[in-house]
Amino acid sequence: MKIGFVGNEPAGPVLAKAWAQAGHELVGAAVDSPEAIERVETLLPDLVIAGMAAVAEDADLVLLAVPYSDVEIVCDGLTDLGLFGPKKLVAHLSPLRGYGVLASAAQLGAVPIALHPVMHFTGTSMDLLVLKNSTIAISAPEMLLPIAQALAIELGGEPLVVQEHQRAAYAEAFEVASSFSSLVVQQAIGILEEAGVEAPAKLIGPVVRSAVDKALYQPVAPLDPEDLL
């Protein structure tokens, strides 16, 4: 397929690079911030940077690498320009929304896909290594799920279907796990830094990883209401 992406989110050029390595053709990137332009020039030096309409018109798959609050607006805008139809795929990356947010494009026959690699992106080549071992949450109309699954596999990750009615719970769990783990790790590193311990991240890393592995494979205990008091 011909693939283009729209938006300044760091995941955009990383996923585009992964798909290019899987054999797809990249047709353009619609980015405008200095940081996003630098990421494209570093990861994809030969890729054309163009306007949103031009990228969407040339691509078979349009990746919306925009904040979740902008997904629907950007999709609707490109739809109004007549850039989506039966031969198009459109995907977004937000954990907070399912494929329903792409309804305007789907109404014209485009394939709507919510595709969220369960990782944090730096926008560098290191992300490509992490992506190879990631789980990728996908949502799409049931008949079209094989397309979303294939795209996830081509990225090197393992697709996991999250139904539309499960999206809110998935997004909340992702945010809680992400924010809580970052806070705790930073707190632990800060304690070691204040004590003058060298290389605190290297010291605390194995502890964090083993604790996370243990938590992941322990059965979840029922919540006692008294614990909330």
- Spell out the domain ranges in the chain: 2-162, 169-218
Stretch 76-104: mean pLDDT: 95
Q: What pLDDT, on the 0 to 100 scale, is given for residue 220?
A: 57
The pTM score is: 0.80
CA dihedral 94, 53, 152, 178 (to 10 degrees): -20
| pLDDT per position as a tens digit, 163-181 | 988 888 887 777 777 666 6
pLDDT of residue 228 exceeding 50, the answer is no
Options 2.60.40.790, 3.30.9.80, 3.40.190.10, 3.40.50.720; which CATH number does 2-162 get?
A: 3.40.50.720
Residue with tokens 């999206």: 167
Q: What pLDDT, on the 0 to 100 scale, is given for residue 202?
A: 72
Distance between first and last Cα of the chain? 55
